Amino acid sequence: MATSTAGTAGATGTPGTTGTATGSPRPMRADARRNYERLLAEARTAFAEHGTDASLEEIARRSGVGIGTLYRHFPNRHAMMSAVFQEALASLLQRSRELASAEQPCGALVEWLRAIITHAGEYRGLARALMSASHDQSSALSECSVPMRDAGERLLVRAQQGGAVRADVSIGDLMQLTNAIALAAEQDPDDPELADRLLMLTLRGLKPDTT
């Protein structure tokens, strides 16, 4: 697998664009756009079937392109995972905006954290990769964490201001906890209620001490 983290066409930016020497985007050629879209579609399928450690060579083969073409669009596995996760990311950010004015701030936070766990569990290996990327700013996946943290921070602050969550709880800790719960659920697929039980146990520990 290639280890370069330099940005290339469509890796983590706007689909259908590629970078120029000055960093400004320009539209992809039609054939490059088709290759990008085929690669992304096959990556979604492969990750769903085999997890995020699916063979990139096989993804390229099923897309009808060479491995060099894959790496021109996605310089490494995390870049491809980031692109695959963009749809879920957009959905999570939209849901956070909808919950921002909910009457029950704590309930809104819980619902959003539950949605994160659900999305992280869509592809085997994604939760582990998201946990790792949170400590690696060079990872393409780390670009997903910034808007997620900002969205979660707003919901967390509302819950804290309402007295439902301790003031010393950070959004970084919550994001790591949700990924850990998703990972635990991934390891025990025969217990579909495990993730929700673990989330509820976690949230009990977030409540302020009333004694």
Are 122 and 88 in contact, with CB atoms under 8 Å apart? yes
Per-residue pLDDT of 92-112, as tens digits, reads: 999 999 999 999 999 999 999
Give this prediction's pTM.
0.75
Scanning the structure block, which residue is given the tokens 């997620």?
Answer: 148
- DSSP code at position 51: -
Burial class of residue 147 in the structure, from the number of CB atoms within 10 Å of its CB (0-12 exposed, 13-18 middle, 19+ buried): middle
Say whether pLDDT at 24 is over 60: no
Count of CB atoms situated within 10 Å of the CB of 137: 10
Are 84 and 47 in contact, with CB atoms under 8 Å apart? yes
Per-residue pLDDT of 129-159, as tens digits, reads: 887 776 777 777 777 778 888 999 999 999 9
